[in-house]
Amino acid sequence: MPELTEAEARRFLLQEARLLDEARYEEWLALFMADAWYWVPSQPEQKSPLDTVSLIYDDRRLMETRVRRLGNPHMHAQQPASRTSRIVANVTLEATNPPEQAAAVRSKLLMVEFRRNEQRLFAGTCLHRLVRAGDGLKIASKRVDLVNCEGELEGLVVPF
């Protein structure tokens, strides 16, 4: 199989952002491997999700629960549902591992969330570990380092 290119990684991350913006959470979940994890640290340069509390630290089972809740029309935290718009930029390959068909990909994220007549802005750096699986790519891990991770962040429900 060919090594992952920066252009291929960029297309994949843009598709992930589109799925999230269109609230296609089941399809977003399908991008993740069975043993994947999704992490949003609560401190700048946090080394491990096990050493201190995180804003979000989900294994696949918790991601499935999150997606199920987002799909529930009676979920209080999403009445009314958030509308979001994401910009993914500065996509770079940080490292590749051809034998494993894996790559570490860094990108910048800007997400605007609008809900209950309030707009929130989130910005940060995403670190994806992408793995070639079959005829496509899968997410083995996703880390989102928010610029204001140690600030007061109320009600983080929609994935970044």
Confirm if 20 and 30 have CB atoms less than 8 A apart.
no
- DSSP letter for 67, please: H
Confirm if 9 and 130 have CB atoms less than 8 A apart.
yes
pTM of the model: 0.91
Contacts of 134 (CB under 8 A, 6+ apart): none
Q: In the chain, what are the domains?
A: 6-74+81-146 (3.10.450.50)
Q: How many CA atoms does the CB half-sphere of 67 hold within 13 Å?
A: 20
Residue-by-residue pLDDT tens, the chain, 160 positions:
578 889 999 999 999 999 999 999 999 999 999 999 999 999 999 999 998 899 999 999 999 998 988 877 766 666 677 899 999 999 999 987 766 678 999 999 999 999 888 999 999 999 999 999 877 899 999 999 999 999 988 888 889 9
Contacts of 136 (CB under 8 A, 6+ apart): none
